[in-house]
Structure 1
Amino acid sequence: MKTPFDLRLLTTFAAVAEHQSFSRAAKALGVAKGTVSRTITQLEAELGIELVHRTTHHVALSTAGAALYERTRGHLSALQTSVSNLPELEDEPSGLLRIAAAPEFGVLVLPAIISAFSQRFPNVRFDIRLSTDNADLVREGYDLAIRVATGSLKDSALKMRRIARGTTAFYAAPAYIARQGRPKRLLEKRHSWVLHAGIVQLLKLDADGVQYCVDDFFLARDLMREGVGVGLLPTFMARSDLKEGLLEEVSLQEPHVLFGDLVVLYPSSGQTPKKVTAFRDFLVETLKSGTVL
């Protein structure tokens, strides 16, 4: 016997069994009466048994039809309930939102954003992974990533939305400035420099002139706080240190290095889930107001 895998056949059969009428089943399903009749005929042909006894004014289930209805109606109802209760079919965003983000942004900026977002959309849960590696969103199952982009998007499997302009500035501890003064140019020899390895590569700097080359902005900031040298940081990382007097901004003759655009990336295939669009739009709204960045 050939097993039917098309749930549409069983759904139509269940409607006929429930209403005992092709016409009433068609009305309940929102299709033509002829479509219902042909669907039942197709199901009978696939099973090789008669499911419905047809008369001019009435239809009745055969013994096999009654048994099939009894065995499948509970499963069909459970399937319909499961589908209708999917989080993304609800009016409000809900479900698990998996996010990948850079550690600096994740530690210093995301907590305030997520706190405010959760007050507005309490049914969204979070799984957040912080890493300097660019996660493969599709392969690793992330809903979105927050990254710094310096160019156009090359991955056609992703959509990108720019949410803020990232900037950097040079900083040093007051103790360092009191001891060494303020440099006027980048890599000025009588000064010690604390730079992220990515910045050294981006600016094609002479690595011999960089006393402290690190691959983590938090470490760079901590070294600057200790007064070991002048360094470059994303401005959002130094904001609280400036207020507390732990760091001072140092103006150089060279223009500030742009940190790139802060972007949110998410898979381009299919319809974007409500939880993703809600969080994306909330990021844009919050960062535009300048409350956390």
Structure 2
Amino acid sequence: MYFVPMLNLNDLILFATAVEHGGFAAASRRLGVPKSTISKRVAALEEELGVRLIHRTSRSFVLTDTGRDFHEHARAALIETEAAENAVRRRVAEPSGNVRITCGVPTAQDYLAEHLPALARAYPRLHVQLDVSDRRVDLVQEGYDIGVRSHFAPLPDSGLIQRQAFVETIVLVAAPAYLAERGEPQHPRELALHDGLLTGMAGNTLWTLSDDSGQRVEVEPHPRMTANEGRVLRAATVAGLGITVLPERMCRGELEDGRLRRVLPAWNAGRVTTTLVMPHRRGQLPSVRATVEFLIECFSKM
């Protein structure tokens, strides 16, 4: 097996530029390459081909017939080379392949569901695989690219890349009918006289509230219902069973159409942060970076 020697692509570029700009001096100015270098490389090209491509004197620069034919094909080859390079760069630049995302059920329902179709339209060569589960997921061991995590306290330093997506205030809400029947509390202490729809385990009945001044107070409403799923609490609150605390966006529609009202609007029950986390190596992939930037842009408009 043997290889046929190929022409130097750089020599083709120097030759074509000299032809298209009318001489070595003009090509030198165009490319920033010394005139003598261009002249020597074109001479070497002619020697390699065994033909004269250019009749040149101190006053003239004229292609031979063979030179004209060679320039036509050389220029076509350079165009195809540029097109091949651009095709590769486009493929590298355009996100493609699989991106595995894991998140909890509320995050999928309330945040990702409306944005993933737009992501798919923006990057048609991207295949998003969303695993919705409330179990604890090890991104590295299980091969996930992105984890979407909602949390009240800062995430531990786990060696993962972290990108904060958004922060939501947790507000107190109740149905107008409930407030009309039981009265509207004017201070957090009065919540002890009200029915509370509680989040999490049945043993946790305290709400820690704070206001803009930094004042904090713990209150304990009468536990009427406990659930670890926000939509269940939202539906129970709309039904008039009591007062609950929810991320503001989760109940924004009900607040806007009047099915729910803010209770003690100067107070809140904390804030929940949603963060995108990625293993370091996976986070460097163009497909993963593009997905993260797209989602963060979407979340910033919520």
TM-score range, shorter chain: 0.5 to 0.7
2:247 to 234, 244, 250: 234
Which deviates more from structure 2 when the two are superposed, residues 196-205 or residues 170-179? 196-205
2:147 to 140, 145, 148: 145
CA distance in 2, matches of 1:126, 1:266: 15
Q: Which residue of 2 aligns with 1:120?
A: 122
1:283 maps to amino acid: L
Change (3 A) 1:231 1:271: closer
CA distance in 2, matches of 1:208, 1:287: 33
Q: Which residue of 1 aligns with 2:272?
A: 260
Greater Cα radius of gyration, structure 1 or 2: 2
Q: Which residue of 2 aligns with 1:154?
A: 156
SS at match of 1:90: helix
Superposition deviation, residue 143 in structure 1? 1.1
2:198 maps to amino acid: L
CA distance in 2, matches of 1:224, 1:214: 12
Which deviates more from structure 2 when the two are superposed, residues 188-197 or residues 131-140? 131-140
Percent of residue pairs identical:
24
Superposition deviation, residue 192 in structure 1? 0.3
SS at match of 1:156: coil
CA contact (8 A) 2:206 2:221 kept: no
CA distance in 2, matches of 1:201, 1:98: 37
Superposition deviation, residue 233 in structure 1? 0.5
Superposition deviation, residue 259 in structure 1? 2.5
Change (3 A) 1:139 1:248: same
CA contact (8 A) 1:196 1:215 kept: yes
Q: Which residue of 2 aligns with 1:168?
A: 170
Q: Which residue of 1 aligns with 2:238?
A: 225
Normalising by the residue count of structure 1, what TM-score does the alignment of the two structures yield? 0.63
CA contact (8 A) 2:197 2:244 kept: yes
CA distance in 2, matches of 1:223, 1:211: 10
Q: Which residue of 2 aligns with 1:279?
A: 291
Superposition deviation, residue 200 in structure 1? 4.9
Q: Which residue of 2 aligns with 1:19?
A: 3
Matched ranges for 1:189-228 at <5 A: 189-197=192-200, 200=205, 203=208, 209-228=222-241
CA distance in 1, matches of 2:100, 2:189: 40
Change (3 A) 1:270 1:248: closer
Superposition deviation, residue 188 in structure 1? 2.1
SS at match of 2:237: helix
CA distance in 1, matches of 2:246, 2:130: 23
CA distance in 2, matches of 1:187, 1:99: 43
Superposition deviation, residue 154 in structure 1? 2.5
Superimposed CA distance per residue, residues 137-183 of structure 1 (whole angstroms, 9 cap, x where no aligned partner): 11222111111233444243311011111211011112111211212
Superposition deviation, residue 227 in structure 1? 0.7
2:191 maps to amino acid: E
SS at match of 2:191: coil
Change (3 A) 1:157 1:189: closer
**Which ranges of structure 2 fall in alignment gaps of 5 or more residues?**
10-87, 209-216
1:90 to 72, 75, 92: 92
Which deviates more from structure 2 when the two are superposed, residues 146-155 or residues 262-271? 146-155
Superposition deviation, residue 220 in structure 1? 1.0
CA distance in 2, matches of 1:19, 1:239: 70
CA distance in 1, matches of 2:154, 2:193: 38
1:279 maps to amino acid: T
Superposition deviation, residue 223 in structure 1? 1.0
1:101 maps to amino acid: C
SS at match of 1:211: strand
Change (3 A) 1:251 1:267: same
Cα RMSD, aligned residues only = 3.1
**Which ranges of structure 1 fall in alignment gaps of 5 or more residues?**
1-16, 29-85
Normalising by the residue count of structure 2, what TM-score does the alignment of the two structures yield? 0.61
